[in-house]
A = this chain, B = another copy of it.
Amino acid sequence: MTVHVTGSGQTAFGELWHESAESLARQAGQEAMEEAQVKPQQIEAVFVGNMLLPMLEQRAHVGRIVADALDLDCPAFRSEAACASGGMAVHLAILSLLAGHFTTVLVVGVEKMSDVGADIIGRGLMGAGSEQEQLQGATFPALYGLMTRLYQQTYEVSDEMMAAQAVLTHDHAYLNPLAQFHQKITITDVLKSSMVADPIRLLNASPVSDGAAALVLSTRAQSKKDRVVVAGMGEGGDCLDYAKRKAFTSFSATKVATAHALRQAHTMIQEIQAIEVHDCFSVAQVVALEDLGVCSPGTGADWIATGHGRVGGNGLVVNSSGGLKGCGHPVGATGVKQIVELYRQLKGVCGKRQVDSISQGLAHNIGGIGATAAVTILRRQS
């Protein structure tokens, strides 16, 4: 059984004061159904990725909220896995198709974060960590700050080298009309931006965002040529507590998920032309490159700083969408958006940020500080 991506939808990402979770989900979902040329009655189930709606708005049954917004009376499943909610929702949808239980399903990732104050959103996001970390007030910037410091010390990596990641993602976001940020930045801009959690500065961190992304997945192909299929996928898990890990400058969940996905797809990371990685902070992207096998440990920052990963370059393109940093990070939408981006790259419709000669793409979505990882590989079948 083969799972095809047959449609995609994505709202602009940003601080969208005039939108609600429902209106965002509706726009992305309708766009995906129109692109897939399926009517609402043909959607047999909805899979929703969302983290924060219950905590921020005291509303649950989130799968049905999204299904209702789209006037769908089919069953609705909701996946929550912190910032990996979207990627895990896509995987659950794929599993339901591979099981033969459904033929055509809709996946919607959605988050509406900008309606509450920083204290509330901060507390909500801390909910993704361990209870111990929460009680100690260790926010995600704080935890990733510790990780950044350790990484830089261990591998003798400068702040300048870490900053290259932010510059790269803003350059790509500049080319993406749906991205939250459309201004290019320099290394100096990053180094001069305000300190968030030493050594993480504002421009090393992804923003608070609103947005939705959607996919139609089906075991029935839409067309006979240029099909985009799910070639492989894997998930990994690790304890919530960063302090209890065996390794502090890599995520074993990413490694496990990647190995599974590559094996299932019968491919190697070297045979992939575009990756969307979970760059919630600069260090997360650097470590992801290493955990995915693009670079050896300690060389990820240098790899980016020396010009790799760019659209228009000769090699692998990293975060053509602008990533979490440049495109925005509406938590539950992110994992779905990554796969929307790869699908559109494989369809060749990405305009100025189009990756040349692409046949395979990989999405990497994590939750917590690497406690959940979902890795998905898409492939074009000509």
With A61-B368, A64-B367 given, can you name 14 additional A-B contacts, CB distance below 8 Å? A45-B235, A46-B237, A54-B80, A59-B127, A61-B80, A61-B127, A63-B372, A64-B81, A64-B372, A77-B81, A77-B92, A92-B96, A97-B99, A98-B101
Q: Spot the interface stretch: A67-75, A176-184, A305-313.
A: A67-75
Q: Which residues of B contact A103 (CB under 8 A)?
A: none
Q: A195 at the A/B interface (Cβ < 8 Å)?
A: no
Q: How many copies does the complex hold?
A: 2
Q: A213 within 8 Å of B by Cβ?
A: no
Min C-beta distance of A278 to chain B, whole Å: 14
CB distance from A1 to the nearest CB of B (A): 8
Q: Residues of A within 8 Å of B, CB-based: how many?
A: 61
* 8 Å CB contact of A98 from B68, B75, B100, B253: B100
Q: List the B side residues contacting A367 at CB < 8 Å.
A: 61, 64
Cβ of A80: which chain B residues have Cβ within 8 Å of it?
54, 60-63, 78, 80
CB distance from A206 to the nearest CB of B (A): 17
Residues of the B chain whose Cβ atoms lie less than 8 Å from the Cβ of A218? none
* Complex CA–CA separation, A75 to B239 (angstroms): 10
> Would you call B60 and A51 a contact (CB within 8 A)?
yes
Q: Assess whether A79 is interfacial by the CB under 8 Å rule.
A: yes
Q: Is A292 an interface residue (CB 8 A)?
A: no
Q: Which B residues touch A45, using CB under 8 A?
A: 235
